Amino acid sequence: GGREFHPCRSSLWQRLGQQTKNGKTCSQCWVLFGMNSALSIVPRTLSLPLLCVVVSPAAERLRYILGDEDDAPTPTLFTEMDTLQHEGGELEWRESARWVKFEEKVEEGGERWSKPHVSTLSLHSLFELRTCLQTGSILLDLEGYSLPQIVDEVVERQVEDGLLAPELREKVVFVLLRKHRHQTKKPIHRSLADIGKSSSTSECLSVCVSTYHSQSRSMNDISDAPSTDQLKNKFMKKIPRDAEASNVLVGEVDFLEKPFVAFVRLAQATTLGGLTEVPVPTRFLFVLLGPQGKSKSYNEIGRAIATLMVDDLFSDVAYKARDREDLIAGIDEFLDEVIVLPPGEWDPKIRIEPPKKVPSADMRKSVFSLNELGQMNGTAGGGGGSGESLDGRFCGGLFLDIKRKLPWLLSDFYDAFHIQSISAVLFIYLGCITNAITFGGLLGDATDNYQGVMESFLGTALAGVVFCCFGGQPLIILSSTGPILIFEKLLYEFSKSNSIDYMELRLWIGLHSCFQCLVLVATDASYIIKYITRFTEEGFSSLISFIFISDAIKKMAGSFKYYPINRGYNPDYVTMYKCDCQAPTQGNISLLSKKLHSLSTSVPQLNGTALDWSQLSKKECLKYGGSLVGNSCKYVPDLALMSFILFFGTYSMTITLKKFKFSRYFPTKCRTLISDFAIIISILVFCTLDYLLNLDTPKLHVPTEIKVPDSPCRGWIVKPFGKNPWWMYLASFVPALLVTILIFMDQQISAVIVNRKENKLKKGCGYHLDLFWVGILMATCSFLGLPWYVAATVISIAHIDSLKMESESSAPGEQPQFLGVREQRLTGILVFVLTGVSIFLAPVLQFIPMPVLYGVFLYMGVASLGGIQFWDRIKLFLMPLKHQPDFTYLRHVPLRKVHLFTLVQIICLAVLWILKSTVAAIVFPVMILGLMVVRKMLDLVFSQHDLAWLDDILPEKDKKKKEDEKKKKDRKKSKGQDDDSNEEVRKMSLCTLIHVERIVYSCYYGHSANTTQ
């Protein structure tokens, strides 16, 4: 080990060394003393090649105590420290600090708690605590059910051990049974007559002890039932359920000449009335009373034991300790891990903020677990963990998905009953209808209204409801995508130029694509997702995020084109600005007559002779064929600037409110509620602002009725035969193959991103089941003439983010822990039902300005970049080395290789962006496959170690590694049957070592060891 010999352990090892020299050890064992004076006893007959075990004596003892993995986990401890105080001539125990995970102390004013902070202890106080436990009374598994009974037992033990004079018994009991005043209660206000007076401890005791025998125990404010203040204490929400309490009582009195120290562990946790500020049963009690003049030292010792009690490892030791030496060993282990700060380089008055991520105690505990011995460290990094395997049977993967999802069917509905689901529904609904309107309008322009906004709304509702009800991953949101829009545009142009019926050709392409998807499902082709690593995920999701961001900015920039800023406007020339409606020329009179004739029924007062052109509005003038003349005719208010305010305001307010959860304002529940409804609040605020200003900003246009499609050449059902030649039904198989690749890659990559292990999904994935329903919906939408739908990556990520759950009861100062996602089907179903009935909500939706929805789109794009490692690595290019964050992969991979890996991803993303922006976008799905090929080629440039940290290891690499290990084992077996693997020898050696050590320690300390063969 190379560490110095610990002076506190010298006597133990001298005694063990004497036993060894006297020949009292087993004849089958030999003893090794390392530089750390650690003992290792190994059977002579056991060969241990390259084995060196050097552990501290404290670790050896704790391994014996904590080595049993079958024990139930110990409860969380809430620790409260009370100090003895004078108030109004009376003694009382006043709460001064408390711990759940971090320390909170009562400020000097006595009216508020401090912020939670990391406890800073003096090394001297820890050694004094160690001495206190060595010399004081230790009562383990005491049968006590009330505080007076426990106090009597403790005092009686002190008297029996000669640590307390019998004549002081009543005084100590009286002090320990004084009233406990907690920070939640109002302080005692003394009368005016008492101001300026003070009473010594002896004066108080002389008055109170004289009447001690005449008072009953109930008169000392000791009650077994929790008080009303305890039951109403809101601090209980911060304490985990089934927690137990540890009470620390410290104070100084003038009738003791040496400290009174006792450590008590009750056999059963018991509620001791007002002893604790919250109604939590007490398990441990530490008492320290001492002579006057050392209150600061007593207080530091109390803080030391309180900090130890909330330490994960020491609390386990306290629960399982069998004697005094076990507790001392727990303190020694704590001292082994303590970090000392030089006094001249740090101010102890500074309170250390709790870390954002508290390190787990599992590594410390694993040292004392037999099950952990002999286990080698795993390889760094590791794959995405999709959970898919090649079944080999016909539709085997589909049946496994159904079998996996059926047990969760009921919970998929009742798990949605939470207020967070309301926020998620409204947020995703607005994103879906905006997407449906945008793509519906573009699709109508590309296909001459064969498909439009109405079809987009109905198709989104139909496909979304079916998929969320029966799909394998209901958190995925289906929508139209850019590549599908481009394919539809090219297909329509091809059909129009070759006199082919577009809807019939599209129907057959959809049917062929459906068949191909079902073939992929039957053959378990979704197994290919094993090869979709972080490299491919990040490239695809980054591209979609940048598309959302760029589209939002482009649409916002378009407002400046339609509503230009009036740069030449001069308020001094306002009297010169005018605009008149001029009558049409003689050639347009006949056209005017026709228009007036058509309007004669609805507007009888307008006729060709009595029309006053100077009284017409701008719209009426242009409608009747007139022309606008004047230098103010083109003037419009600065709608572009107003639109930008709505756009950027919605985005920035949403970002701010989302982060409001981590601010210091308002209670936690209020902050969480504001954060969950951040998007809805932002939309309502800026819609209200737009309504109050009453400017003609572009608004959301929603269909107001369900009607037959606008194109006269089609109905609600597309007929499969009669308009195209027969060979077209077969030839459509080729373009259908391209659509299938597009659908497959888009759907499965989005599903991999949703199912990534960082989201902590518990109900499993369903890649085959998802693809099955996407294929069925392809055929259904083709028959109904509705758009095709596939997983929308960004909206699905937004759906995940809006349903994330965090721990409710977290210790003060501890960041809430991410628990997972609220996995259910109801939010998706409600989103798409609302989308379908949006035509009935048109009177309300028409008040939403489009710039507000563009701001929502911008937020969705930016938010989806937040959890992408690729984006973090891009920012490293702009950071000096000393200012770079402490990312884990930067500890293991050289920075130049990190930059090279990032540069490859940037180049791939740029190629995809160029393809997306041209007519070549139709081969976009093929280029997604190209990302997987590029990732395969990276194995030639980077080592597997580097790729394990920057990406995931490809499956065949793991397979090859396992095959190599198997070959090595086969070669070892061929040399001889008696030659076992090194790993098994190591495990057996260490287990035997600990087993023998347990026997030696048990014999030495007089305990019976439970040895088994």
DSSP string spanning 713-739?
A: T--SS--SSSSS-HHHHHHTHHHHHHH
Does residue 126 sit within a domain?
yes
Return d(Cα 801, Cα 799) in angstroms, integer: 6
State residue 284's pLDDT score: 95
| Residue 835, H or E segment | helix 826-836
Torsion angle of the four alpha carbons 969, 975, 976, 978, in this order, in degrees rounded to the nearest 10: -60
Indicate the pairing of strand 180-181 with strand 282-290: unpaired
State residue 974's pLDDT score: 55
Lowest mean pLDDT among 137-141, 164-168, 268-272, 841-845: 841-845
696: tokens are 């003609």
Does residue 869 sit within a domain?
no
**CA nearest to 650, candidates 697, 714, 580, 598:** 697
Residue tagged 């939590």 (tokens): 280
State residue 775's pLDDT score: 92
User: Can you say whether the dihedral through the CA atoms of 853, 854, 855, 860 is positive or negative?
Assistant: positive
Is the pLDDT confidence value at 29 over 50?
no
pLDDT tens per residue, range 230-254:
555 677 777 888 889 999 999 999 8
Total domains in the chain come to 1
* pLDDT confidence tier of residue 199, bands split at 50, 70 and 90: very low
865: tokens are 């970049």
Give strand pairing partners of 43: 29
Which 3-state string (H, E, C) describes 775-822?
Answer: HHHHHHHHHHCCCCCEECHHHHHHHHHHCEEECCCCCCCCCCCEEEEC
Torsion angle of the four alpha carbons 634, 639, 644, 647, in this order, in degrees rounded to the nearest 10: -130
SS3 406: helix
SS3 502: helix
12: burial class by Cβ within 10 Å (0-12, 13-18, 19+)? middle
Return d(Cα 146, Cα 369) in angstroms, integer: 36
Q: Write down the pTM of the prediction.
A: 0.66
Return d(Cα 928, Cα 749) in angstroms, integer: 9
310: tokens are 């909330």
Would you give the DSSP letter of residue 288?
Answer: E
Q: How many helices (H) and strands (E) does the chain have?
A: 37, 16
In the chain, helix, strand, coil percent, each to 5? 55, 10, 35
First to last CA, the chain: 31
Residue 892: count of CB within 10 angstroms of its CB: 14
* Amino acid symbol at 210: S
Return d(Cα 622, Cα 72) in angstroms, integer: 83
Does residue 118 sit within a domain?
yes
**Does 166 or 703 have the greater pLDDT score?**
166
Residue 100: count of CB within 10 angstroms of its CB: 23
Give strand pairing partners of 40: 32
Indicate the pairing of strand 804-806 with strand 818-821: antiparallel
82 lies in which domain range?
A: 77-364
Phi/psi of residue 83, each to 5°? -115, 150
State residue 339's pLDDT score: 85
Does residue 11 sit within a domain?
no
State residue 515's pLDDT score: 93
Do residues 835 and 786 lie in contact, with contact meaning Cβ atoms separated by under 8 Å?
no
Considering 572-581, 598-607, 828-837, the range whose residues carry the highest mean pLDDT is: 828-837
Does residue 747 sit within a domain?
no
811: tokens are 């210790």
Phi/psi of residue 586, each to 5°? -60, -35
**For the range 562-566, what are the long-range contacts, defined as Cβ-Cβ under 8 Å and sequence gap of 24 or more?**
562/698, 563/636, 563/637, 563/638, 563/639, 563/640, 563/643, 564/636, 564/640, 565/638, 565/640, 565/641, 566/635, 566/636, 566/638
Average pLDDT of the chain, as a whole number: 76
Residue tagged 């051990």 (tokens): 161
Do residues 860 and 798 lie in contact, with contact meaning Cβ atoms separated by under 8 Å?
yes
Would you give the DSSP letter of residue 978?
Answer: T
Return d(Cα 91, Cα 877) in angstroms, integer: 65
State residue 646's pLDDT score: 92
Lowest mean pLDDT among 140-149, 372-381, 524-533, 688-697: 372-381
Phi/psi of residue 712, each to 5°? -75, -10
Residue 485: count of CB within 10 angstroms of its CB: 19
State residue 49's pLDDT score: 39
State residue 586's pLDDT score: 56
**CA nearest to 676, candidates 421, 867, 356:** 421
State residue 917's pLDDT score: 75
State residue 446's pLDDT score: 75
pLDDT tens per residue, range 43-52:
333 333 333 4
Residue 692: count of CB within 10 angstroms of its CB: 8
What DSSP string runs through 209-253?
HHTTTTS-GGGGT--SSPPHHHHT-GGGGGSPTT-EEEEEEEEE-
State residue 724's pLDDT score: 79
State residue 8's pLDDT score: 40
Phi/psi of residue 1002, each to 5°? -65, -40
Q: Which distant-in-sequence residues (6+ apart) come within 8 Å of 995 by Cβ?
A: 1011
Greatest alpha-carbon span in the chain: 134
Return d(Cα 874, Cα 903) in angstroms, integer: 8
Does residue 26 sit within a domain?
no
The enclosing domain of 293 has a CATH number of 3.40.930.10
Does residue 495 sit within a domain?
no
State residue 191's pLDDT score: 38
570: burial class by Cβ within 10 Å (0-12, 13-18, 19+)? exposed
* Amino acid symbol at 977: Q
SS3 628: strand
Looking at residues 425-449, what average pLDDT do you find? 80
Do residues 974 and 294 lie in contact, with contact meaning Cβ atoms separated by under 8 Å?
no
Torsion angle of the four alpha carbons 340, 341, 342, 346, in this order, in degrees rounded to the nearest 10: -160
Residue 628: count of CB within 10 angstroms of its CB: 14
Does residue 463 sit within a domain?
no
